[in-house]
């Protein structure tokens, strides 16, 4: 027979409630404990980041820019007269001398004008000789007439003297003596007039000859000009160097001033570097530079800084100071792409480290410093000073021997600690 057990159900309910309360307290405790735990740092593959160690010592502050080699001077060879290109003898790239013929132009009208100028010059030269002969004959005739008058005057003067002596002795009449004297005086006057005429004719003849000579000189100058223009149809290099361009084609008509060719001296080059406008403020004329042609290094110096900013860059001209042989050994040539590095200053004893991805001069940057034997990295605020191409000065926040991550860590900006795996 079953015996009723009083109070069992009540005890069971009390026990179940107790277990529930204990379980609830445990859940609350675990939840509270978990909420107070710090999140685990994210893991980063160590092979994907670039690290460097803080050092102390000398540091060169440099700026770098890409650019090309350009000639210091370009010799442009232009057309002197109208013409048509009938032949091209060379392509760009060949070495030339002043007498190297590059192009042949044709201008039939100029050839005809040159011939006409030559014929006119020869005709006027002949006319000058003819005029000289004619005027010389006329002058000789006048001089002959003067000579005859002078002879007659001498005779008349002698005769007058004789007649005067005879008249004084009564041998002849005084009238005869007077007539002889008058004749002599008349001839003397004619001689004087004829002398003046000879002088006047000489001056007149000289003027006529000068006028004709001026015409001949004008003809010679015109012929020389036309002949020079005709010679210029044979286009020569005119300089020693390398032919870099012939921008005209066979059959093309050209006018005076048209560029026919360009010649440069390959040993007289400069580097034109494009420097970011934010980095160009410290560049000064005269600063040392090195130019990498990818086949050697050429030393140089800054010689010009463009005052204008174009597309965010400033053009800086660097004069190459190496010898022609050194420049030639590096394969330098016009339009060659180069890398240029300009030395801004030299710091003798500073803390420095490799330049981080977003490190700018004179600023404060957040860098991850390695801790726990390189297993983790924590973010530290670092004050930096001078910045170079590959290095940056540490002012505050790091010490010698500290290892930091230089790679772009912007993905982990929300974390102050990372785990390196």
Query: What single string gives the DSSP state of each residue in 134-166?
Result: HHHHHHHHHHHHHHHHHHHHHHHHHHHHHHHHH
Residues 6+ apart with CB under 8 A from 174: 167
Q: What is the DSSP letter of 38?
A: P
The answer on pLDDT for 11 being more than 70 is no
Domain locations in the chain as residue ranges: 47-70+267-420, 74-101+239-264, 108-231
Q: What pLDDT, on the 0 to 100 scale, is given for residue 36? A: 55
Residues 6+ apart with CB under 8 A from 321: 299, 300, 301
Give me the percent of the chain exceeding a pLDDT of 70: 90
Please write the tens of the pLDDT for every residue from 191-206. 778 777 777 777 777 7
Q: Which two tokens stand for residue 217?
A: 């000189």
Please write the tens of the pLDDT for every residue from 207-219. 877 888 888 899 8
Indicate left, alpha or beta for 212 from its phi (over 0: left) and psi (-120 to 50: alpha). alpha
Please write the tens of the pLDDT for every residue from 339-392. 999 998 888 889 999 888 887 888 898 888 888 888 888 999 999 988 888 888
Give me the percent of the chain exceeding a pLDDT of 90: 30
Indicate left, alpha or beta for 335 from its phi (over 0: left) and psi (-120 to 50: alpha). left
How far, in Å, CA of 193 to CA of 109, rounded? 56
How far, in Å, CA of 273 to CA of 355, rounded? 22
219 with 174: CB under 8 angstroms? no
* Vertex 213: Cα angle to 212 and 217 (nearest 5): 120
Q: Is the pTM of this model over 0.85?
A: no
The answer on pLDDT for 26 being more than 80 is no
Q: What is the CATH number of domain 47-70+267-420?
A: 2.40.30.170
């Amino acid at each position: 027979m079953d015996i009723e057990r009083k109070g069992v159900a009540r005890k069971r309910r009390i026990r179940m409630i107790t277990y529930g309360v204990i379980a609830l307290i445990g859940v609350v405790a675990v939840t509270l404990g978990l909420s107070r735990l710090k999140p685990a740092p994210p893991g980063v593959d160590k092979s994907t980041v670039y690290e460097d160690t803080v050092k102390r010592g000398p540091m060169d502050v440099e700026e770098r820019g890409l650019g090309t080699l350009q000639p210091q001077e370009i010799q442009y060879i232009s057309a002197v007269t109208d013409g048509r290109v009938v032949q091209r003898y060379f392509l760009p790239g060949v070495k030339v001398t002043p007498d190297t013929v590059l192009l042949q132009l044709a201008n039939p009208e100029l050839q005809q004008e040159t011939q006409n100028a030559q014929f006119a010059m020869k005709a006027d030269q002949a006319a000058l000789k003819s005029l000289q002969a004619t005027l010389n004959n006329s002058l000789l005739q006048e001089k002959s007439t003067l000579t005859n008058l002078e002879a007659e005057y001498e005779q008349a003067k002698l005769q007058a003297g004789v007649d005067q002596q005879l008249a004084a002795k009564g041998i002849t009449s005084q009238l005869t003596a007077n007539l002889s004297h008058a004749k002599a005086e008349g001839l003397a006057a004619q001689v004087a007039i004829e002398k003046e005429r000879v002088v006047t004719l000489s001056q007149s003849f000289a003027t006529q000859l000068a006028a004709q000579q001026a015409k001949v000189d004008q003809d010679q100058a015109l012929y020389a000009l036309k002949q020079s223009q005709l010679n210029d149809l044979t286009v020569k290099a005119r300089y020693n160097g390398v032919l870099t361009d012939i921008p005209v084609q066979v059959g093309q008509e050209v006018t005076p001033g048209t560029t026919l060719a360009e010649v440069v001296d390959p040993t007289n080059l400069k580097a034109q570097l494009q420097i970011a406008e934010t980095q160009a403020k410290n560049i000064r004329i005269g600063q040392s530079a090195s130019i990498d042609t990818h086949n050697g290094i050429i030393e140089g110096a800054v010689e010009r800084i463009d005052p204008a900013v174009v597309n965010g860059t400033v053009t800086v001209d660097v004069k190459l100071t190496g010898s022609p042989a050194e420049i030639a050994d590096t394969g330098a040539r016009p339009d060659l792409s180069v890398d240029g590095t300009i030395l801004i200053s030299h710091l003798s004893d500073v803390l420095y480290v490799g330049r981080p991805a977003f490190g700018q001069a004179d600023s404060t940057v957040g860098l991850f410093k390695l801790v726990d034997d390189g297993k983790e990295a924590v973010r530290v605020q670092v004050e930096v000073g001078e910045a170079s191409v590959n290095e940056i000065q540490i002012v505050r926040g790091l010490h010698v021997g500290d290892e930091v991550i230089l790679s772009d860590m912007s993905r982990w900006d929300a974390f102050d600690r990372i785990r390196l795996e």
